[in-house]
Amino acid sequence: MRLLVGLGNPGKDYRLNRHNIGFMALDVIAGRYRFSSWRNRFQGETADGEVDGVKVIALKPGTYMNRSGQAVGEAAHFYKIAPSDVIVVYDEIELAPGKVKVKQGGGSAGHNGIKSIDAHIGNDYWRVRLGVGHPGNKDRVADHVLENFAKADVAWLRPLLDSVADAIPLMIGGAENKFMTKVALLMNPPAPKPKKPDPEAESNT
């Protein structure tokens, strides 16, 4: 069993914020794999389903970002899910928009949601970091993540969410590097190879 967590802030005022890309990703994944309807549990919302035969509990904490660990800890304890079977999807300002990186453990890099989860279950869980770009000035970071995505961001945001959903079976199945590779290829497909000339066709001209 896997606990798949998306980070964000609850309520319609935050729905389209950069900080809520984790919620957005979970909504697409839950729809793609026909999870159950969302319901209120563990100080948040959960939906459950299967991805390639693996039971998955999707969780969107409703505690606001800086207390996300309360909901994650409650759900992990209830289902007896080890931190290494927890996957957290969230925004990363140090990555360019549309880029994805995966790692297990490590520091919080100042992300309040990650700090909170570390405090409740330790840091041995998997992090799927979705790039939202840096505002260029550290004093602008708080405003940047709490601003809505710009209209121009739609060009990469929707493909990113779809690519993460397409590749999530690899992440669920423990093939983390393949997950990153597949997302990168889906976001930047290789150019088609030029067709080789047909000698037979040429001989008839």
Of 78, 89, 100, 103, the residue nearest 27 (C-alpha): 89
pLDDT value of residue 192? 78
Say which of 19, 77, 111, 144 is annotated catalytic: 19
Residue 201 falls inside a structural domain:
no
Residue 194 pLDDT exceeds 80: no
Mean pLDDT of 181-205: 78
Annotation says 19 is catalytic? yes
Residue 118 falls inside a structural domain:
yes
Looking at residue 37, which CATH number applies to its domain?
Answer: 3.40.50.1470
- What total number of domains does the chain contain? 1
Of 106, 111, 82, the residue nearest 94 (C-alpha): 111
Q: How far apart are CA 193 and CA 9, in angstroms?
A: 44
> pLDDT for 25-40, tens place per residue?
999 999 999 999 999 9
pTM over 0.95: no
> pLDDT for 178-192, tens place per residue?
999 999 999 988 877
For 39, the domain range is 2-189
Mean pLDDT of 168-174: 97
Q: Is 133 helix (H, G, I), strand (E, B) or coil?
A: coil
Residue 196 falls inside a structural domain:
no
